[in-house]
Amino acid sequence: MGIVVTGATGHLGRLVIADLLERGVAPDAVAAVVRSEEKGADLAARGVELRVADYDRPETLKAAFQAGDRVLFVSGADVGRRVPQHTAVVDAAREAGVALLAYTSVLGGPDADFALAREHQATEELILASKVPYVFLRNGWYSEVYTAQLPTVLEHGAVVGSAGEGRVASAARADYAAAAAAVLTEEGHENSAYELSGDTAWSFAEYAALVAERSGRDVVYREVPPEQHLEILAGAGLPRPFAEVLVDVDRAIGRGLLAGTSGTLARLIGRPTTPVGDSVAAALAG
């Protein structure tokens, strides 16, 4: 029996493994599911077991899990292809007899009515039908989704969106990683669904003001109609289907669906969540 992290070489997976090791989990009790040993070489150097598997190759997932494992199932990144991928993961976990399957879902779960939530909702249904003990980590937005765009924001002096006065209770990716590590190492979380978000919800106008303050540059929020927002994103090189998803998320933000501040994330990690201003400062320094 051990702790298994899928998507282990991604941004979230690496943070979860680092958190587990900092908590004192022995490296040889942690397994990283990776698509190639080369990508996981740094994890192997720390004593973490590598298990090579690919969501798109169900046959490889048979060796990814063992009876009694506590698994963090990081959702796939291929929007539009995740249901068959996730079906393969859930099937493999069930057949192996894992003790816990913690899935990185979406804030709102079955109540989320935006397009990006649909594959997460389908995956939650798959997990419930599997009868595997579960935890749904219904993650809100990562602050890094926005701070990753700071070079473009600073170049144009504007945060562009179509969310109106909607607010986002984001948290740092490391906060969500700490929550995942907590449910993997603590008892009493089985068959729970956690709505996870930051302690404070901010508007895009407030975010633009924070960027201006921390960077010393003139930055404003520029509200545009959804149709224009879509064309701006597509013109910047984003695949149109993904750009459509992002514009739909802004509509959800405008409806208040990503503004909840339940405090659950802070309770799980035992500290306040990271303020978005701190994430902006870290991105600017980096």
Q: What tens digit of pLDDT does each residue of 10-47 get?
A: 999 999 999 999 999 999 999 999 999 999 999 999 99
Query: Around Cβ 150, how many Cβ atoms within 10 Å?
Result: 18
Measured between alpha carbons, how far is 83 from 90 in angstroms, rounded to an integer? Answer: 10
Question: What would the DSSP string read from start to end of 199-248?
Answer: SS-EEHHHHHHHHHHHHTS--EEEE--HHHHHHHHHHTT--HHHHHHHHH
The whole-model pTM stands at 0.95
- Which domain does 282 fall in, by range? 141-171+197-260+274-286
Q: Are residues 149 and 120 part of one domain?
A: no
Q: Looking at the structure, tell me whether residues 228 and 251 fall in a common domain.
A: yes
Cα angle 129-117-151, degrees, rounded to a multiple of 5: 140
Do 90 and 206 sit in the same domain of this protein?
no
Please give the sequence-ordered ranges of beta strands (E in DSSP) within 3-124, or none if there are none.
Answer: 3-5, 30-34, 49-52, 70-73, 100-106
pLDDT tens digits for 99-148?
Answer: 999 999 999 999 999 989 999 999 999 999 999 999 999 999 999 999 99
| CA–CA distance, 182 with 70 (Å, rounded to integer) | 12
- Does 50 lie in the same domain as 154? no
Q: State the distance between the two ends of the chain, measured CA to CA, in whole angstroms.
A: 38
- Same-domain status, 134 and 153: no
Q: Are 102 and 137 in contact (CB under 8 A)?
A: yes
Residue 245 is predicted with a pLDDT of 86
CA quadruple 52, 107, 201, 263: dihedral sign: negative
pLDDT tens per residue, range 47-105: 999 999 999 999 999 999 999 999 999 999 888 889 999 999 999 999 999 999 999 99
* Cβ neighbour number for residue 10 with a 10 Å cutoff: 17
Residues 122 and 206 placed together within one structural domain of the fold: no
In-domain check, residue 177 = no
Question: 61-75, 155-169, 240-254 — which is least confidently predicted?
Answer: 240-254
Strand partners, 54: 57
**What CA–CA distance (Å, rounded) separates 149 from 169?**
18
Q: Residue 156: pLDDT above 90?
A: yes
Task: Give long-range contacts, CB 8 A cutoff, 24+ apart: 20-24.
Answer: 20/181, 20/184, 20/185, 21/46, 23/181, 23/185
What is the signed CA dihedral for 121, 127, 133, 139, rounded to 10 degrees? -30
Q: Are residues 127 and 39 in the same domain?
A: yes
